[in-house]
Amino acid sequence: MQYLSQRLAAQPASEREREPAGAVARSQRDRLLDATVALIAEKGVGGATIEATVKAAGVSSVTFYEHFRNKEECFVAAFDRAVEELRAEVRDAIPTSGDRSERVRAGIGALLAAIDAAPARARLCFVEAQKAGPRLAARYDEALDAAAAELEDSLGEAIAGGLAWLLRERLELGGGGSVRELLPEMTEVALLPHPAHG
């Protein structure tokens, strides 16, 4: 079985479909991504092996290689999906009107609620993504740049970096309690460069 898995992994993408179509294939892919997120949260990127992932997802290693070339590609897909989910949850919570401080507070509040609701996903996005190799680290940097651009602020990079650092510290070191406790501190970080916008 492992020999077949190695052959499938080595096969160029043009020789096989990268994303198999159909409801069964989508379900298998989603289960693989869900298992990856859960394993990374529990064991870190080093413990999230292909064997553990397929076992947790209830699929075969052949199925894994029908969706992903290797573990890193699976990690990147799980990260991309997680980031898009977080962005959508935050975007939906930000009012279209109101002053900047109201919008910032609503966005940060939605992000913290999403983290509390899915801590495994948050750990992947804010902690483990920076440990899983250059490709995922680059994706993390791209996501941070996109968040900074959405702030529409000349200090967007510094603000987004500061907020991500606070979240990583809390998620990595723990400390108990809800991340929602960070709302006042994170709101201050986001608004400090603009004290007149209170």
Q: What is the pLDDT of residues 49-80, one digit of tens each?
A: 999 999 999 999 999 999 999 999 999 999 99
pLDDT score at 54: 94
Q: Indicate if the pLDDT at residue 12 is higher than 80.
A: no
Name which residue leads in pLDDT, 12 or 32. Answer: 32
Q: What is the mean pLDDT of residues 160-188?
A: 86
- Give buried/exposed letters for 137-161 (b at 16+ CB in 10 A, else e): eebbeebbeebbeebebeebeebbb
CATH 1.10.357.10 residue window(s) in the chain: 74-197
Helices 119-126 & 23-47 angle (0-180, nearest 10):
60
Average of per-residue pLDDT values in the chain: 84
Percent residues over pLDDT 90 in the chain: 44
Cα 155 off chain centre by? 23
Residues 6+ apart with CB under 8 A from 10: none
- Give buried/exposed letters for 91-122 (b at 16+ CB in 10 A, else e): eebbeeeeebeeebbebbbbbbbbbeebebbb
Q: Indicate if the pLDDT at residue 110 is higher than 50.
A: yes
Vertex 57: Cα angle to 39 and 67 (nearest 5): 100
CATH 1.10.10 residue window(s) in the chain: 2-69
Token pair in block for residue 17: 């479909």
Of 19-33, 34-48, 157-171, give the lowest mean pLDDT range: 19-33
Compute the distance between CA of residue 38 and CA of residue 53 in angstroms, rounded to an integer.
Answer: 9
pLDDT score at 45: 86
pLDDT score at 94: 87
Predicted structure pTM score: 0.81
pLDDT digits (tens, 9 = 90+) for 121-149: 999 999 999 887 888 889 999 999 998 88
- Give buried/exposed letters for 185-195 (b at 16+ CB in 10 A, else e): ebbebbbeeee
* Long-range contacts from 90-95, C-beta under 8 angstroms, 24+ separation: 90/114
pLDDT score at 78: 95
Asked: is 2-69 a CATH 1.10.260 domain? The reply is no
The topology (CATH level 3) of 74-197 is Tetracycline Repressor; domain 2 (1.10.357)
Q: What is the mean pLDDT of residues 160-178?
A: 84
